[in-house]
Structure 1
């Protein structure tokens, strides 16, 4: 079985900078990589795969999941959960897009009173 690489610390820090600014969102160690939670709900998980690719999985509204899934790489629909979507991170990653995905994921997972306090990115469904 191949080893799973650790996500680059700079990438974890970029994700953390977005999520740490959101109410009651905490960084926690995961079975592999790093996760962020609001309460018991996972907002994001970044990890290295046995294929040596680094992935970030988040939660999204159903229409956003479908839009991202249809875009194809670097986006993918996770094999678990109906609202789980991911992006393969690499040197060409659009970190502004990642910040929007993270904020949306937080708002999907957080209790309403916390999510309502967050300025959410405008609807940006992809063509």
Structure 2
């Protein structure tokens, strides 16, 4: 079973500081990793993938650390633009609008906050989505 402490604390804490700003959002353990939800809909999910079971992650393994991956939703019209450039983004193999991002020292936290905000807006009821302002940058 996954333990949240397996995700590097700087990544988990960074995600928590972004996700807790979303109206009525909550954090919970998932089957693997930690996810943030609005009502019963997941808008962000962070985990350490099993590279042996899912070889798509193998190219992101380094000698120092296993990959840390976050999945989130994007508006369908943004999918290709976000994933066409490759690393750190790629299309998840499930869902029509799900993107995976490999997180680490290279992560642009301002961009990630915007992507999480958009994901929340995709999944939240309209009246809650309308309450979300663009989040200030986090570090």
CA distance in 1, matches of 2:25, 2:48: 22
Q: Which runs of 5+ in 1 are unaligned?
A: 122-127
> Deviation digits for residues 55-106 of structure 1, max 9, x if unmatched?
0100010121111111111100000000101110111111111111110100
Which TM-score applies when normalising by structure 1? Answer: 0.87
- Paired residues of 1:35 and 1:44 also in contact (CA < 8 A): yes
CA distance in 2, matches of 1:60, 1:15: 17
Matched ranges for 1:105-120 at <5 A: 105-120=119-134
Q: Please, which of 90, 110, 125 is the counterpart of residue 76 of structure 1?
A: 90
Matched ranges for 1:78-93 at <5 A: 78-93=92-107
Matched ranges for 1:1-127 at <5 A: 6-51=6-51, 52-120=66-134
Which TM-score applies when normalising by structure 2? Answer: 0.80
Report the number of matched residues: 117
Two-structure CA RMSD over aligned residues (Å): 1.4
Residue aligned with 2:131, SS: coil
- Paired residues of 1:104 and 1:120 also in contact (CA < 8 A): no
